[in-house]
Amino acid sequence: MQTIDFSLFHGEPESVATFGPIAIVRSKYRPNNFVPTHHHEGHCLFVVESGSMFQVMPDRLVVLKKGVVGFQTPELPHRNYSGPAGASIINVAIRSEWFTELGTDLLHRSAFWTGRAATKLRDLLVGKLPLSENTLHAIRDVMCNALSRDFDNQASDNELAEKAYHIVAENFAESISLGLVATELGVNSSHLGRVFRKNFGSSVGEFIKVLRLDLACQMLINSNHSISVTAYDCGFADQSELTRSMKNSIGWTPAAFRKTFQSSQ
């Protein structure tokens, strides 16, 4: 995994503060940009203040929009694509010993929240620096409750979304759609669409586009296949469609992207 100068992609952090076991950085991500695969040394809690970003992990892709709160475990490899407006994110780096009371099992779980837990965590973090000891304890309590609830309650809709996720992830380079996935699972396509968006923050169609884009970016960096072959292998109709997708999504042409990131390895 390559070493990255993140100032090239995030811009300078707006503020940095340390409070006992945690360090807080408010970062600006540049519009239409790509952050190569990396990981963080400790646990990380983050709040999306504005803008949007796709985050690609080994087993899933998540759409990070304003209001989303995430929790990531150490050493989790991931890469990011910022949206056309960039993104402002509060990143909270946390020493693992701070979570002793949560139990070791919860410390190995990543999660993304948009509901009540996200609102509580945003209220505790945003605009309230420096943090008091009571606020730190409150953050830990909300996270403990949210992590326990997320992983102890496996509703049927969540299972359906997971099944759909894996079907799409295994077949996105082929001709695939929400209707085909719904038929495969024997469910109504409208219901599946709602469940998928609730769990992953995007429609099935958007998810397919980002998976194809991500694979194309990885192929452009790690192979010498022609751009037209790369487009075909990733499920795009032709090189022109890949070029439009990359320009609209991350602001690079395939050729410029390859030249920049192959040379950085």
Q: Quote the pLDDT of residue 9.
A: 42
- The correct CATH number of 7-152 out of 3.30.300.30, 3.40.50.300, 1.10.1740.10, 2.60.120.10 is 2.60.120.10
Structure confidence by residue, pLDDT tens digits, 20-55: 777 778 888 888 788 888 887 778 888 888 888 888
CA distance 68 to 111: 10
**Quick count: other Cβ atoms within 10 Å of Cβ 2?**
10
What global pTM score does this model have?
0.70
Q: Quote the pLDDT of residue 39.
A: 82
Q: Quote the pLDDT of residue 154.
A: 47
Q: Quote the pLDDT of residue 94.
A: 78
Q: Quote the pLDDT of residue 228.
A: 96
Token representation of residue 23: 């360090």
Residues of the chain with CATH 1.10.10.60: 157-262
Q: Quote the pLDDT of residue 183.
A: 93
Structure confidence by residue, pLDDT tens digits, 145-179: 777 665 444 456 778 888 999 999 999 999 899 99
DSSP string across 58-89: SS-EEEEETT-EEEE-TT--EEEEEEEEEEEE
Residues of the chain under the 50 pLDDT cut: 1-9, 104, 151-154
Residues of the chain with CATH 2.60.120.10: 7-152
- The correct CATH number of 157-262 out of 1.10.10.60, 3.10.50.40, 3.30.70.270, 1.10.620.20 is 1.10.10.60
* Chain centre to alpha carbon of residue 76: 11
Answer positive or negative: Cα dihedral of 199, 202, 205, 211: negative
